[in-house]
């Protein structure tokens, strides 16, 4: 489903401080995989997640989502691709502070012009699954970190994307909340067939995923399924 | 997007209050300033037109540039019959102006003596209200002279005194008579008050052999704004190549130019103020946007396009501008309306103004909905422009880069 061919990414290219963030990445990720990119800090796992998520462009190589080459897309097309095909979960929750939980979860659906009825139904469904259905009218700052991250996951899955990209989703959570969150994401992965890609060095996530890719200095050092 | 913008304006209270207050203040100030500027110009013009010059005047071509008896209008009635048919004209009158020598036993002075129709002048001009002493002319005033107060002082004449006039009649023959000073006037214009005097036309026509002839015909309109339109109508109706019909814009070219210059400087000084307001609004918007870069990054990551970001900023400023102008416009409009019917009187210079005779010491505001409309348009435009730089600043970050912005 996602195919990367000879992907290279540099930061500060041509400068003395140049960093070769991704080195000749060749990778195929099948639909509904539950995958982790792991490795030490600075190994390129977040950058890999970003280039797959069309948030950053690569300097060479191609990335295909299904048969579509996303590296050839314009910025506007990449924005549309993110809106229609992808969901994002960030380390710092990154909810919209002025919207309540219900509005945050339904935000992407509204951008995609789902009907109000569909949004209401889906928001309730996802919120129930993630056990935040009693917090729908609360503002993000009234929730705990674990609850906020569940809202972020709910927002990412509500519009039924093909892929969810989660960058260190458990970094700000305690182990109990991390376990709950990963369990829920696993359930979403199995139940809704969404590919979920993590960038993390959390052992808990490593134990839960079905595939682990280890990156070292921007290159894939190890790739195994479990 | 609109709902999010609305919530943002409620959430970021500091920026919202600052923007709304600045917009409110600048709207009120802008409307009042333009209203006062237009009102004072209008008043200045009306005052000047009231004194003597008409909204439109008809001349024989050459009279204004060369002058002389050969450039007199020869058939006044033929023209006034046509003018009587134009609804937009409130009043008209012909004037016969000549220059001659006025002398008493000891003093002489060159002066303009004009034959006027007193009854019509009462409607047309403020000559009657400029009266300082004696009584204004009427159709039977015979050789009564209505003299400028400065001219009377120059000749050391008082009411009832006699003064000899020597001039040239309309056919070029010698004209002379003894006039009696019946009244003096003061318009506030020294030049006018020291050189002009008036006499009833019926008497003057006999002396000057000027029956049905005139130097020009002066016209007062029901609405001064219609001057250009009515002037075109007059030109078409009189259909005489030897005549020219001119509006006050030509007749009072110097005043119009000075008003235009005044307006330009007024607009420039106001523009400087508006630029300051604009930058303050923009800077507050920019500071607010800077603190929200991370939020915009998240929105861009999850699929908000650049257009949506622009719309978000646009809606935010639109909401604040609507709120501020909805409060400011009625207040400013009410103030303009109030002072248009109760003009401001500048107390400090009231006495001085009164000493200037008929020149008003009142400065009215101009209550004009079209002016309010473009004033509000400018405020909206400035506020919309104020989001451009913050918008460009947001777009200088990539979506992911923006999420990491501190």
Token representation of residue A99? 């919207």
| Residue entry with tokens 């061919």 | A5
Q: Is A80 on the interface with B (CB under 8 A)?
A: yes
Q: What is the pLDDT of residues B19-51, one digit of tens each?
A: 889 889 889 988 998 888 888 777 777 766 666
Instruction: State residue B148 phi and psi, 5-degree precision.
Output: -60, 140
Residue B259 shares a structural domain with residue B231: no
Q: How does residue B350 score in pLDDT terms, banded at 50, 70 and 90?
A: very low
- Residue A82 has its nearest CB partner, among B302, B306, B403, at B302
- Residue A56 has its nearest CB partner, among B10, B299, B400, at B400
What's the rounded Cα separation, in Å, for the pair B287 and A10?
A: 32
What is the chain A residue with the closest CA to B10? A98
Q: What is the pLDDT of residues A129-169, one digit of tens each?
A: 778 888 899 998 888 888 888 888 888 888 888 888 888 87
Residue B212 shares a structural domain with residue B123: yes
What is the pLDDT averaged over residues A6-22? 80
- Residue A88 has its nearest CB partner, among B4, B7, B301, at B301
Give A90→chain B minimum CA distance, Å. Answer: 9
Contact A99 B294 (CB under 8 A): no
Contact (CB, 8 A) for B343 and B364? yes
Which of B251, B280, B308 delimits the end of a domain? B251
Residue B49 vs residues B45, B53, B250, B271, B313: alpha-carbon distances, Å: 6, 5, 13, 30, 50
Q: Which of residues 85-144 of A touch B (CB under 8 A)?
A: 86-88, 90, 94, 96-99, 107-108, 111-112
Residue B283 shares a structural domain with residue B152: no
Give A142→chain B minimum CA distance, Å. Answer: 15
Tell me if residue B392 falls in helix, strand or coil.
Answer: helix
Query: What's the mean per-residue pLDDT of chain B?
Result: 85
Q: Parallel, antiparallel, or unpaired for β A195-199 and A34-38?
A: parallel
What's the rounded Cα separation, in Å, for the pair B227 and B113?
A: 28
Instruction: State residue A167 phi and psi, 5-degree precision.
Output: -100, 110
Which of B251, B271, B300 delimits the end of a domain? B251
- The pLDDT assigned to B361 comes to 62
What's the rounded Cα separation, in Å, for the pair A10 and A59?
A: 7
pTM metric for this prediction? 0.69
Contact A99 B303 (CB under 8 A): no
Tell me if residue A206 falls in helix, strand or coil.
Answer: helix
Q: In B, which residues are within 8 Å of A165 by CB distance?
A: none
Give B302→chain A minimum CA distance, Å. Answer: 6
Residues shown for chain A: 226
What is the chain A residue with the closest CA to B299? A96
Residue B99 shares a structural domain with residue B216: yes
Residue B173 shares a structural domain with residue B62: yes
Q: How does residue B353 score in pLDDT terms, banded at 50, 70 and 90?
A: very low
pLDDT > 70? residue B360: no
Contact B298 A94 (CB under 8 A): yes
What's the rounded Cα separation, in Å, for the pair B399 and A176?
A: 31
Residue B25 shares a structural domain with residue B149: no
Q: In A, which residues are within 8 Å of B300 by CB distance?
A: 79
Q: In B, which residues are within 8 Å of A112 by CB distance?
A: 303
Lowest-pLDDT choice from B269-283, B344-358, B381-395: B344-358
Instruction: State residue B133 phi and psi, 5-degree precision.
Output: -150, 145
Q: How does residue B351 score in pLDDT terms, banded at 50, 70 and 90?
A: low
Helix H segments across B302-387? 306-341, 347-355, 369-385
Residue B297 shares a structural domain with residue B366: yes
Q: Hey, how many other C-beta atoms are within 10 angstroms of the C-beta on B134?
A: 18
- The pLDDT assigned to B49 comes to 67
What's the rounded Cα separation, in Å, for the pair B246 and B251?
A: 7
Q: In B, which residues are within 8 Å of A84 by CB distance?
A: 303
Residue B232 shares a structural domain with residue B263: no
Q: How many CB pairs under 8 A join A and B?
A: 58
pLDDT > 80? residue B285: no
Substitution target in B9, B303, B312, B398 with the highest count of A β-carbons within 10 Å is: B303
pLDDT > 80? residue B186: yes
pLDDT > 70? residue A39: yes
Contact B400 A107 (CB under 8 A): no
Q: Specify the higher pLDDT residue, A36 or A146.
A: A36
Q: In A, which residues are within 8 Å of B398 by CB distance?
A: 55-56
Q: Which of residues 40-59 of A touch B (CB under 8 A)?
A: 50, 53, 55-56
- The pLDDT assigned to A202 comes to 82
What is the pLDDT averaged over residues A191-218? 86
- Residue B403 has its nearest CB partner, among A82, A87, A90, at A90
Q: What is the DSSP letter of B366?
A: P
Residue B105 shares a structural domain with residue B82: yes
Give A226→chain B minimum CA distance, Å. Answer: 30
Which of B217, B251, B285 delimits the end of a domain? B251
- The pLDDT assigned to B346 comes to 66
- The pLDDT assigned to A128 comes to 86
Those residues with Cβ within 8 angstroms of residue B396's Cβ, 6 or more apart along the chain or in another chain: none
Contact B303 A84 (CB under 8 A): yes
Give B7→chain A minimum CA distance, Å. Answer: 6
**Is the ipTM above a cut-off of 0.90?**
no
What's the rounded Cα separation, in Å, for the pair A60 and A57?
A: 9
> Count of domains in chain B?
2
Give A25→chain B minimum CA distance, Å. Answer: 21
pLDDT > 90? residue B275: no
Residue B250 vs residues B36, B37, B227, B239, B392: alpha-carbon distances, Å: 24, 21, 11, 20, 49
Q: What is the DSSP letter of B224?
A: G
Contact A82 B303 (CB under 8 A): yes
Give B324→chain A minimum CA distance, Å. Answer: 22
Tell me if residue A112 falls in helix, strand or coil.
Answer: coil
Domain extent at residue B45? 2-49+255-403
Q: Hey, how many other C-beta atoms are within 10 angstroms of the C-beta on B316?
A: 25
Residue B155 shares a structural domain with residue B242: yes
Give A164→chain B minimum CA distance, Å. Answer: 11
Instruction: State residue B31 phi and psi, 5-degree precision.
Output: -65, -45
Tell me if residue A82 falls in helix, strand or coil.
Answer: helix
pLDDT > 80? residue A29: yes
Q: How does residue B297 score in pLDDT terms, banded at 50, 70 and 90?
A: confident
Q: What is the pLDDT of residues A47-82, one digit of tens each?
A: 888 888 888 888 888 888 887 888 888 888 888 888
How much of chain B, in percent, has pLDDT values that exceed 90?
A: 33
- The pLDDT assigned to B348 comes to 56
Residue B127 shares a structural domain with residue B199: yes
Tell me if residue B278 falls in helix, strand or coil.
Answer: helix
What is the distance, to the nearest Å, from the Cα of residue B144 to the centroid of all Cα atoms in its chain? 35
What is the chain B residue with the closest CA to A167? B400
Q: Is B295 on the interface with A (CB under 8 A)?
A: yes
Those residues with Cβ within 8 angstroms of residue A102's Cβ, 6 or more apart along the chain or in another chain: A123, A127, A136, A137
* CA dihedral of residues B38, B41, B47, B50 (deg, nearest 10): -80
Residue B156 shares a structural domain with residue B70: yes
DSSP state string for B311-334: HHHHHHHHHHHHHHHHHHHHHHHH
- The pLDDT assigned to B347 comes to 63
Q: Which of residues 178-197 of A touch B (CB under 8 A)?
A: none
């Amino acid at each position: 489903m996602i195919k990367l061919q000879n992907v290279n990414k540099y930061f500060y290219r041509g400068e003395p401080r140049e960093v070769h963030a991704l080195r000749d990445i060749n990778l195929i990720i099948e639909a509904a995989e539950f995958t982790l990119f792991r490795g030490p800090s600075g190994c390129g796992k977040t950058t890999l997640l970003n280039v797959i998520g069309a948030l950053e462009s690569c300097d060479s190589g191609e990335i295909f989502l299904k048969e579509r080459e996303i590296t050839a897309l314009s910025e506007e097309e990449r924005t549309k691709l993110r809106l229609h095909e992808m969901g994002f979960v960030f380390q710092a929750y990154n909810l919209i502070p002025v919207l309540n939980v219900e509005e945050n979860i339904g935000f992407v659906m509204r951008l995609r012009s789902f009907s109000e009825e569909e949004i209401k139904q889906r928001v309730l469904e996802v919120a129930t699954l993630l056990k935040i259905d009693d917090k729908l009218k609360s503002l993000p700052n009234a929730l705990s970190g674990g609850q906020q991250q569940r809202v972020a996951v709910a927002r990412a899955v509500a519009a039924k994307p093909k892929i969810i990209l989660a960058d260190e989703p458990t970094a700000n959570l305690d182990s109990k909340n991390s376990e709950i969150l990963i369990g829920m994401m696993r359930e979403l992965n199995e139940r809704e067939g969404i590919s979920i890609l993590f960038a993390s060095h959390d052992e808990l996530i490593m134990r839960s995923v079905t595939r682990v890719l280890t990156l070292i200095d921007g290159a894939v050092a190890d790739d195994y399924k479990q | 997007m609109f709902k999010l913008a609305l919530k943002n304006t409620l959430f970021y209270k500091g920026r919202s209050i600052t923007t709304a207050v600045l917009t409110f203040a600048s709207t009120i100030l802008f409307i009042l300033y333009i209203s006062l500027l237009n009102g004072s110009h209008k008043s200045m013009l009306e005052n000047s037109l009231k004194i003597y010059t008409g909204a439109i005047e008809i001349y024989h071509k050459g009279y204004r540039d060369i002058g002389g008896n050969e450039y007199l209008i020869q058939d006044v009635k033929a023209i006034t019959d046509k003018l009587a048919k134009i609804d937009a004209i409130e009043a008209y009158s012909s004037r016969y102006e000549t220059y001659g020598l006025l002398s008493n036993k000891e003093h002489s002075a060159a002066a303009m003596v004009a034959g006027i129709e007193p009854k019509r002048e009462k409607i047309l001009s403020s000559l009657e209200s400029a009266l300082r002493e004696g009584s204004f002319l009427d159709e039977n005033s015979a050789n009564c002279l209505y003299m400028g107060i400065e001219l009377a002082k120059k000749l050391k004449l008082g009411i009832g005194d006699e003064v000899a006039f020597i001039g040239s009649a309309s056919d070029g023959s010698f004209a002379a008579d003894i006039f009696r000073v019946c009244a003096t006037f003061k318009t506030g214009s020294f030049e006018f008050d020291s050189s002009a005097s008036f006499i009833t036309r019926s008497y003057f026509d006999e002396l000057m052999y000027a029956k049905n002839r005139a130097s020009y015909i002066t016209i007062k309109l029901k609405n001064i704004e219609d001057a250009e339109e009515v002037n075109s109508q007059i030109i078409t109706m009189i259909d005489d190549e030897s005549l020219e019909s001119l509006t006050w814009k030509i007749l009072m070219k110097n005043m119009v130019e000075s008003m235009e210059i005044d307006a330009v400087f007024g607009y420039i000084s106001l523009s400087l103020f508006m630029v300051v307001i604009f930058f303050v609004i923009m800077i507050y918007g920019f500071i607010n946007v800077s603190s929200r870069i991370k939020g915009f990054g998240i929105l861009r990551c999850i699929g908000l396009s650049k257009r949506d970001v622009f719309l978000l900023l646009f809606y935010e400023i639109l909401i604040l501008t609507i709120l501020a102008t909805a409060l400011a416009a009625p207040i400013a409009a009410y103030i303009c309306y109030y002072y248009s019917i109760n003009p401001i009187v500048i107390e400090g210079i009231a006495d001085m103004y009164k000493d200037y005779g008929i020149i008003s010491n009142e400065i009215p505001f101009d209550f004009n909905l079209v002016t309010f409309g473009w004033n509000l348009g400018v405020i909206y435009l400035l506020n919309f422009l104020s989001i451009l730089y913050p918008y460009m600043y947001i777009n200088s970050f990539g979506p992911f880069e923006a999420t990491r912005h501190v």
